[in-house]
Structure 1
Amino acid sequence: MTQAVTDLYVSAGLPDYYVNVFFFPIQQSLRYVAGKEASRVIWIEIIHVARNWDGVDLEGPSKFKEAVNRVTEPYVRDDIHFEYVVIEGPAALWQINGIDPPESFGPEQQYVATQNKKLLDDLHQRLLSH
């Protein structure tokens, strides 16, 4: 699933190192749906910072949900409660290893955005080589 999620974002033009996937198992006695203990639950929280919904484009959210459903379909069965939510955050409050990603800059700051993109790409390559 992690590669499929990464591929989804890369196909939208984002670098692969923007994609983080974490799995947190939660013991059954701590999982509830509708106030009742739930044994078979998948809950996904997707945090978008690099791209946000503009509130106008009505097709974008539908297409994104269709893409998420395609990625998750192999893991979800009828006997599983499956739910996800997309939470959006402002790019201006985002950093990767102390570097502001290009999306955090406005149009008048594109030189800095380009420089920071190069720094992030170089950092990613260094981390991959370790």
Structure 2
Amino acid sequence: MPIWYINHSPNILSAAEKQQLAKSITNIYASNGLPAFYVQVHFIEDAPGTAFIGGEIHAKFAGITIYHLARAFKSDETKQRFLSRVNEVLNPVFEPKGMDWEYFITEASRDLWRMNGLVPPEAGSEGEKEWVRVNRAVKY
């Protein structure tokens, strides 16, 4: 499952922008066959005076941590294509605001992942297709 944590400066993103970002991020994955419910996007607004960049408070910053568990990148081409899609989602929201942002992706071992106590079905399997269809973790 992909989990995104978007830590950001106070009052920089509206509720509507957060909703649109969450939908666009989910689409990156769902358009490639992952169940939409796999995707978690958490917005964490830093309280004033609690986040520092280079030792200074930054009024327009987002730090994004992306965890991947459901899939792993198999090639440099796949990585670059994914990074391009991330930029296509983030840049139109952050650039017009004059924001600075940084993100990184970490991949974790799939065998350490469970949903509702279930081992998620293999990519492209009938079990995964069922999870896509019902949009939740069910026994398969």
The TM tier, using the shorter chain, reads 0.7 to 0.9
Shift of 1:119: 6.8
Does the residue aligned with 1:46 lie in a helix, a strand or coil?
strand
**CA RMSD between the two structures:** 2.7
Higher relative contact order (CA 8 A, sep 6+): 2
Greater C-alpha Rg: 1
Alignment length, in residue pairs? 117
Matched, 1:101 2:120: yes
Identity across aligned pairs (percent)?
28
Hey, what's the Cα distance between the residues in 2 that align with 1:61 and 1:40? 27
Counterpart position of 2:27: 7
Letter in 1 for 2:79: P
Contact 1:45 1:84 in 2 (8 A): yes
* CA displacement, residues 42-76 of structure 1 (integer Å, 9 cap, x when unaligned): 1111110011124xx22111111110011112211
Matched, 1:85 2:97: no
Contact 2:61 2:101 in 1 (8 A): yes
Of 44, 49, 68, which residue of structure 2 is paired with 1:24? 44
The structure richer in helix per residue is 1
Q: Structure 1 residues 92, 30: CA separation in 2 closer, same or farther (over 3 Å shift)?
A: same
Query: Structure 2: any 5+ residue segments left out of the alignment?
Result: 1-20
Contact 1:101 1:117 in 2 (8 A): no
Contact 1:43 1:82 in 2 (8 A): yes
Query: TM-score w.r.t. structure 2 length?
Result: 0.71
Query: Structure 1: any 5+ residue segments left out of the alignment?
Result: 105-112
* CA displacement, residues 15-44 of structure 1 (integer Å, 9 cap, x when unaligned): 111111111111131111122221111111
Counterpart position of 1:67: 85
Q: Which runs of 4+ in 1 moved over 6 A?
A: none
Of 69, 73, 80, which residue of structure 2 is paired with 1:53? 73
Contact 1:101 1:120 in 2 (8 A): no
Does the residue aligned with 2:70 lie in a helix, a strand or coil?
coil
* CA displacement, residues 74-95 of structure 1 (integer Å, 9 cap, x when unaligned): 2112621111111111110011
Contact 2:115 2:137 in 1 (8 A): no
Contact 2:36 2:135 in 1 (8 A): no
